[in-house]
């Protein structure tokens, strides 16, 4: 059991350990590393969304200054390189089980480093040039002559699911790779048949990209003497990249070392291996030189794994009193040209009923291939999509049926006494006080003052809109984690296999370790990101890291305290049972002798120790935890729309987030802030737009992709709630994604409220100024027409 009273670090807003290097320019990002003799790789990328590769003429490129080699998909195949083993079907005991049509195995199109057959999206690398300098490699890449045969293509999600759509994979009869159903269809149909009210909605939660500010990069080298490869590549987990790259190269994993120190943003985009990671390793062996690749921003926009892109059709059956009777949903996920991950579809599938007690539901979950960059889990994978569906549908139900939107929610929320609550598609919500979250939020957001603020805005010619959304999300993730805890005379080191990209693991894990062992926070260091040191671990995704780390550290602490007690007993000449451990000190009862961790560590290497106590004061601990947790909360925002221009300002934004135990509020609030910005970005500005005529992506830079910026974001009011999860020792849920999950829904809810005088609106995300202005014009025209009529 945890002794909460002894917590000195856990729960404190301690500034981060990692900051000192990052604010002084001493970070260690991938591109900061260079090796002697290093040369550069540049990719030849497909200009077509779908095209057969007829021939590649490399002669001109090979003759250009500095060029050392040009490699194609044929070369990859000749060398026997394997496809990247993405393993996209979520497979923990609690993931929704996705299958192909008719219960078949999901067909996963092979993801070779370079394709030999055809290009399946604009920007796909079809050849690699390596040259002495980056400029030379880029120039020569322009000179590689690829003969393409253009093929019919499809990029749009719904169009790709049509039976006669242009087909990406010959192995499938169409583009549908997943078609699964969940819940109780018969009972749902029956409930719908009886229901006095049915409300329906269709929405496309569009394609966006993570846009981490560090462009992806990779530096590969091969040591012919040892036969080992080294890859510097920032990612969401070096251990995974090591395993996958070893498979690609047909090497045993121990022949690879992957290094991922500071990572300049991830948000999911870096959780799957990139072809360039394998390519630089492969080329480094062929050329006997270290090979480096750094994406330009335009390459990042084209070929970073993207996010969302889900079409959802949802219906809710409601009785006369506003009680939800049943829900029906059909979700269609666009995985792009290859299936890197089905996490978004799977995650969302388990949460379609949201925060509400809906007795029966059924869901059809499908995924399609399309001629676009593959999608991957992106900040709060799958949850913002389904939260958007249920929350916008509840708003619509309230409006159409004449209920107050808060009251309708209150009537249907899952209540604390129902916890653990099994929802209609089988997900078990661990804990939470959903309605209390709502009450806290309404106070925080000053809901009472809204009408006064609305009047004030109106006096200034602005339309004030208030958005509201509840949310519940799931945190699952890879179930296994490992920690090495090593106590030395000068401090404690923890080696662990998660991979932060700004989440502050070096700080929050140190807080946990410090309190578990009773040592000062300053004496704990966390080691991450080098697979020669970190032997195993699940990486960072799905809000898993704090929960898995604190759990494995709690297990490790029990073992190392026992080890410490045995060593202390030996050193003090007493029986093991005479040793008491409390707050970092090993004591013998009634004796004025004690030893600290660091005293003990000084004696742990003593050669005279009995065999059982030798080997240093350290433990290695593995844990496996499948049970998911369900972070939850509520969110409210206010916007002001200028009806003459469609311009919009977010004037207030408040959230209440139940993250379970909060280890470091400074960090968790920061996570919420950043999460909000990404969710708001999707609602208002962000979109990976593909020109419907040519199939060309049109976002190639920050000039044509709308980012959240200093001057379009507000300051936030965020409040943390800690309803401890019963599923893990510290009661951690997760704090990384709650900002994002309700954000698209809450912004569009506010938009609808702001424009309510013009009648029901039809604005798709991103709700740009032009779309808002056009909706207002149409609304005014409708109003004028109805007056004349």
Partner 1 sequence: MALVSMTVNGSAVAREVDDNTFLAFFLRDHLGLTGTHVGCDTTQCGCCVVHVDGRSVKSCTMLAAQAQGCAVTTIEGLATGDVLHPVQRAFHLHHGLQCGYCTPGMIMAAVNLIETHDGALTEEIVREEMEGNLCRCTGYHNIVKAILAAADEMSPSHAAAE
What residues make contact with partner 1 under the rule CB under 8 A?
Answer: 15-16, 18-27, 29, 31-32, 34, 135, 210-215, 262-267, 296-298, 501-504, 666-667, 669-671, 673-678, 701-703, 707-711, 713, 715-716, 739
Q: Which is nearer to partner 1, 136 or 175 (CB)?
A: 136
- CA nearest neighbour of 372 among 297, 452, 308: 308
Nearer to partner 1, 716 or 773 (CB): 716
Beta-carbon neighbour count of residue 20 at 10 Å?
10
Least distance to partner 1, CB of residue 583, Å: 28
> Using an 8 Å Cβ cutoff, are 327 and 188 in contact?
yes
Task: Give CA–CA dist 121/303, Å, rounded.
Answer: 9
Q: Rounded distance, CA 50 to CA 122, Å? A: 8
DSSP for 384-448, written as a single string: HHHHHHHHHHHHHHHHHHT--HHHHHHHHBPPGGG-SEE-TTS-EE----HHHHHHHHHHHTTGG
Burial class (CB in 10 A: 0-12, 13-18, 19+), 94: middle
DSSP 254-267: GGEEEE--S-S--T
Nearer to partner 1, 18 or 309 (CB): 18
Contact partners, residue 700, CB within 8 Å, separation at least 6: 297, 298, 301, 302
CB of 707 to partner 1, least distance (A): 6
CA 323 to chain centre: 33
Nearest CA-CA partner of 747 in 661, 699, 677: 677
| Minimum separation from the CB atom of position 521 to partner 1 (A) | 15
Q: How near is the Cβ of 638 to partner 1 at its closest, in Å?
A: 16
Q: How far is the CB of 595 from partner 1 (least distance, A)?
A: 33
User: Which tokens hold the place of 467?
Assistant: 């958005």
Residues 6+ apart with CB under 8 A from 363: 181, 182, 183, 328, 329, 330, 331, 349, 352, 425
CB of 544 to partner 1, least distance (A): 18
Kind of pairing between the strands at 594-596 and 585-588:
antiparallel
Nearer to partner 1, 193 or 213 (CB): 213
* Nearest distance, CB of residue 661 and partner 1, angstroms: 19
Nearer to partner 1, 387 or 655 (CB): 655
Q: Are 771 and 764 in contact (CB under 8 A)?
A: yes
Q: Which of 712, 601, 714 is nearest to 647 (CA)?
A: 712
CB 257 → partner 1: shortest distance, Å?
Answer: 21
- Judged by beta carbon, residue 110 or residue 712, the one nearer partner 1 is 712
Q: Measured from the CB of residue 16, what is the shortest distance to partner 1 in angstroms?
A: 7
Within 205-326, residue ranges assigned H as helices are 238-249, 275-287, 297-303
Write the DSSP assignment of 693-751 as a string of letters: TT--B---STTSS----TTT----EEEEE----TTSTT-B---SSTTTTTHHHHHHHHH
Q: Residue 304 CB, nearest distance to partner 1 (Å)? A: 12
Residues contacting residue 150 through CB under 8 Å, at least 6 positions apart: 48, 50, 51
Nearer to partner 1, 29 or 403 (CB): 29
Q: Choose between 66 and 489: whose C-beta lies nearer to partner 1.
A: 66
Which positions ≥6 away from 1 have C-beta within 8 Å? none
Closest to partner 1 by CB, 259 vs 345, is 259
- Of 431 and 498, nearer to partner 1 (C-beta) is 498
**Burial class for 692, CB neighbours closer than 10 Å (0-12, 13-18, 19+):** exposed
DSSP assignment letter at 105: P
When the beta carbons of 217 and 579 are compared against partner 1, the nearer one is 217
The pair of three-digit structure tokens given for residue 133, joined into one six-digit string: 């300098």
What is the spatial distance between Cα 353 and Cα 754, in angstroms, rounded to a whole number?
27
Query: Measured between alpha carbons, how far is 412 from 600 in angstroms, rounded to an integer?
Result: 57
Residue 369 and residue 178: Cα distance in Å, rounded? 10
- What does the H/E/C string look like for 566-604? HHHHHHHCCCHHHEEEECCEEEECCCCCEEEHHHHHHHC
166/264 with CB nearer partner 1: 264
Spatial neighbors of 738 by CB under 8 A, at least 6 apart, are 380, 471, 473, 631, 632, 633, 655, 657, 659, 672, 675
Rounded to the nearest whole angstrom, what is the least distance from the CB of residue 328 to partner 1 in the complex? 35
Q: Which is nearer to partner 1, 31 or 484 (CB)?
A: 31
Give the nearer residue to partner 1 in terms of CB position, either 16 or 347. Answer: 16
Nearer to partner 1, 33 or 403 (CB): 33
User: Which CB, 83 or 706, lies closer to partner 1?
Assistant: 706
Compute the least distance from the CB of residue 698 to partner 1, in Å: 16
DSSP 8-state assignment for residue 50 = S
DSSP reduced 3-state for 499: coil
- In Å, the largest CA–CA distance within the chain is 101
CA dist 520 and 514 (Å) reads 6
CA atoms of 740 and 744, how far apart (whole Å):
8
- In the complex, the smallest distance separating the C-beta of residue 258 from partner 1, rounded to whole angstroms, is 19
Distance of closest approach, residue 119 Cβ to partner 1, in angstroms: 24
């Amino acid at each position: 059991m945890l002794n909460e009273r002894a917590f000195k670090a856990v729960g404190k807003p301690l500034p981060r350990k990692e900051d000192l290097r990052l604010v002084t320019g001493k970070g260690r990002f991938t591109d900061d590393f260079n090796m002697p003799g290093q040369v550069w790789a540049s990719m030849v990328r497909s200009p077509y969304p779908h095209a057969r590769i007829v021939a590649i003429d490399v002669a001109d490129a090979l003759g250009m200054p500095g060029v050392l080699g040009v490699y194609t998909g044929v070369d990859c195949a000749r060398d026997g390189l394997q496809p990247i083993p993405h393993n996209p079907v979520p497979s923990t005991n609690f993931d929704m089980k996705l299958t192909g049509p008719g219960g078949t195995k999901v067909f996963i199109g092979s993801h070779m480093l370079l394709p030999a057959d055809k290009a399946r999206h604009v920007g796909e690398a079809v050849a690699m040039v390596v040259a002495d300098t980056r400029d030379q490699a880029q120039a020569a890449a322009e000179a590689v002559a690829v003969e393409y045969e253009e093929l019919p293509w499809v990029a749009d999600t719904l169009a790709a699911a049509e039976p006669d759509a242009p087909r990406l994979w010959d192995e499938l009869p169409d583009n549908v790779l997943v078609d699964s159903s969940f819940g109780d269809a018969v009972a749902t149909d029956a409930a719908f048949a009886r229901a006095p009210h049915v409300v329906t909605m269709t929405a496309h939660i569009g394609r966006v990209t993570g846009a981490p500010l560090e462009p992806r990069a990779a530096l590969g080298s091969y040591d012919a003497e040892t036969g080992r490869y080294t890859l510097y590549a920032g990612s969401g987990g070096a251990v995974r990249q090591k395993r996958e790259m070893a498979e690609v190269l047909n090497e045993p994993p121990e022949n690879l070392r992957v290094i991922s120190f500071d990572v300049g943003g991830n948000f999911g985009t870096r959780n799957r291996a990139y072809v360039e990671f394998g390519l630089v390793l492969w080329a480094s062996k062929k050329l006997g030189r270290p090979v480096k690749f750094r994406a330009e921003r335009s390459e990042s926009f084209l070929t970073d794994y993207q996010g969302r892109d889900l079409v959802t059709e949802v219906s809710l059956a409601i009785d006369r009193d506003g009680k939800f009777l049943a829900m029906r949903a059909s979700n269609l996920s666009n995985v792009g040209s290859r299936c890197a991950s089905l996490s978004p579809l799977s995650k969302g599938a388990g949460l379609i009923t949201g925060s509400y007690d809906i007795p029966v539901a059924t869901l059809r979950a499908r995924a399609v291939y399309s001629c676009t960059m593959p999608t991957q889990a992106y900040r709060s994978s799958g949850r913002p999509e389904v939260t958007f569906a249920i929350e916008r549908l509840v708003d619509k139900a309230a409006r159409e049926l004449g209920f107050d939107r808060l009251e309708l929610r209150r009537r249907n929320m899952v209540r604390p006494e129902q916890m653990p609550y099994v929802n209609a598609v089988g997900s078990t919500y661990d804990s939470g006080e959903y309605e209390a979250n709502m009450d806290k939020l309404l106070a925080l957001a000053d809901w009472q003052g809204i009408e006064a603020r609305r009047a004030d805005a109106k006096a200034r010619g602005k339309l004030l809109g208030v958005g509201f959304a509840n949310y519940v999300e799931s945190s699952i993730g890879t179930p296994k984690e490992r920690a090495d805890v090593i106590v030395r005379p000068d401090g404690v080191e923890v080696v662990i296999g998660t991979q932060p990209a700004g989440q502050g693991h070096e700080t929050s894990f140190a807080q946990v370790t410090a309190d578990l062992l009773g040592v000062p926070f300053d004496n704990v260091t966390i080691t991450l990101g080098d697979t020669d040191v970190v032997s195993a671990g699940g990486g960072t995704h799905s809000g898993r890291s704090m929960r898995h780390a604190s759990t494995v550290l709690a297990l490790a602490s029990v073992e190392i305290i026992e080890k410490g007690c045995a060593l202390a007993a030996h050193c003090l000449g007493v029986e093991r049972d005479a040793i008491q451990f409390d707050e970092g000190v090993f004591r013998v009862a009634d004796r004025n002798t004690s030893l600290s961790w660091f005293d003990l560590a000084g004696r742990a290497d003593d050669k005279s120790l009995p065999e059982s106590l030798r080997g240093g004061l350290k433990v290695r601990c593995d844990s496996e935890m499948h049970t998911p947790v369900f972070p939850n909360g509520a969110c409210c925002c206010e916007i002001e729309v200028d009806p003459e221009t469609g311009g919009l300002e977010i004037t207030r934004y408040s959230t209440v987030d139940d993250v379970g135990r909060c280890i470091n509020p400074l960090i968790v609030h920061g996570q919420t802030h950043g999460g909000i910005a990404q969710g708001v970005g999707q609602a208002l500005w962000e979109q990976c737009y593909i020109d419907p005529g040519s199939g060309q992506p049109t976002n190639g830079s920050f000039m044509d992709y709308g980012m959240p910026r200093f001057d379009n974001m507000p300051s936030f009011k965020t409040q943390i709630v800690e309803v401890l999860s019963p599923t893990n020792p510290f009661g951690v849920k997760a704090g990384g994604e709650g900002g994002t999950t309700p954000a698209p829904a809450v912004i569009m809810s506010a938009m609808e409220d702001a424009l309510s005088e013009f009648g029901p609106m039809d604005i798709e995300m991103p709700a740009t100024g032009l779309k808002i202005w056009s909706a207002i014009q149409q609304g005014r025209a409708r109003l004028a027409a109805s007056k004349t009529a």
